Structure 1
Amino acid sequence: MSVLPIVTYDDPVLRQASAPVKENSEELQQLISDMFETMYNSNGVGLAAPQIGRSIRLFVMDADAITSELDEEEDLGPIAMINPKIESLSGDKVKMEEGCLSIPDLRDEIVRPDIVTVSYLDREFNSKKLTAEGWVSRVIQHEFDHLEGTLFIDYLSAFRKRLHRSMLKKIDSGQMEVDYPVVPKLPEKAGQTV
């Protein structure tokens, strides 16, 4: 397994709708293993393929670290979701703080429905359906958004976005230091001449 570099804010791949995964393969299985390794190395609870530069409908997650700490939900262990489809969103709208490995050190409160039902193919290409609430639901919705080209900051008001503008510029220019590998910014993005 390998730790892959993560693309950061304003990389075009984060704004594209991802293509469906067509078939199982050794390459796909290696990618899933590498994504889990990358997620754990970065202390994340979810990672979508676009975050490592692959515009395909795949994400991995393991929210057990959060759910065990809160002692409010069942531990599910690591899950790979291939070609996920949100079947329904329900329950109360809940505000929780979110962050993203592609937007390091920026966190804000986001309102989302508390319950999600998602259908997907698991790592062995078996059809699955999961209804989740709380943090597990939050992680699924956040990672699914990545497959649609949406970032959690898109849910913020114009005022909240302005508050984060300087940090976003710092991330976009490659000046943000993080303790996990990221894709280097192009020299012109970092303010250097070519």
Structure 2
Amino acid sequence: MPIKKILRIGNPLLRQTSADVTEDEVNTKEFKKLIRDMFETMKYADGVGLAAPQVGILKKIVVIGNEPEPTRYKNAPEVPQQIILNPVIEHLTDDTDGFWEGCLSVPGMRGYVERPNRIRMTWRDEKFNEYSEEISGYKAIVLQHECDHLFGVLYVDRLKSPKLFGYNEEIDTLGKELD
């Protein structure tokens, strides 16, 4: 399975809104191959999630999943593998959790983002079955980050402060806010 090129910040495709996936599309060989390629690409890049726009496909497709100890996010809880189509997110609280987010489309950098810590997500799976679930914690952060890509939004658009953004080797991610 080929590893796809991950688009980087500045590529105009990353700023566009994606189209819904149709039921007819999920039954095609091309769709199934794209899903396999997205999982392979995410794993190869050591990511926790990948959205189709990041590989140049403007469709509402997200894949997530990690091993218990990913190298990019030490001590992050395991996120089971999942295929998410046409997600709709509803924020269930104004309470937020902050996290030093990174992105495969913004390589080598992190930024501090606060997001609602409890959401309801409605989506379809790869067989076009519909689901709705209340999600909290780390998985809620991952899903909001990945689903933002479907609407042309990158985590850098949601930084708490521009001072809380920088290269992985330079930034203090121990929870200290910079002056």
Question: Which TM class, normalised by the smaller chain length?
Answer: 0.7 to 0.9
Asked if 1 retains the 8 angstrom alpha-carbon contact of 2:48 and 2:64, the reply is yes
- d(CA) in 1 for partners of 2:145, 2:117: 12
Q: Does the alignment pair 1:18 with 2:18? A: yes
2:143 & 2:135 partners in 1: Cα distance? 9
For residues 92 and 147 of structure 2, what CA distance do their matches in structure 1 show? Answer: 13
Aligned with 1:62 (options 62, 65, 68): 65
CA distance in 1, matches of 2:118, 2:67: 17
In proportion to residue count, which structure has more helix?
1
Aligned length: 161
Long gaps (5+) in structure 1: 168-194
Cα deviation 1:146-166 (Å, max 9, x = unaligned): 0010000001266438x65xx
* Mapping of residues 103-122 of structure 1, within 5 Å: 103-122=106-125
Task: Indicate how the Cα distance of structure 1 residues 126 and 158 shifts in structure 2: closer, same or farther if over 3 A, else same.
Answer: same
Question: How far off its partner does 1:55 sit?
Answer: 0.7
Give 1:119 shift: 0.8
In the alignment, structure 1 residue 47 sits paired with structure 2 residue 47? no
User: Does the 8 Å contact 1:116/1:133 carry over to 2?
Assistant: yes
**TM-score under structure 1 normalisation?**
0.75
**What is residue 180 of structure 1 aligned with on the other side?**
none
Please say which structure displays the higher CA radius of gyration.
Answer: 1
Stretches of structure 2 that go unaligned for 5 or more consecutive residues are: 168-179
Question: Pairwise CA RMSD of aligned residues?
Answer: 2.3
Greater shift in the superposed pair: 131-140 or 98-107:
131-140
- 8 A Cα contact 1:114 1:133, kept in partner: yes
- Give the secondary-structure state (helix, strand or coil) at the position aligned to 1:90: coil
Within a 5 Å distance, the mapping from 1:1-194 to structure 2 comes to 1-22=1-22, 23=24, 24=26, 25-63=28-66, 65=68, 70=75, 77-90=80-93, 92-156=95-159, 159-160=162-163, 164=166
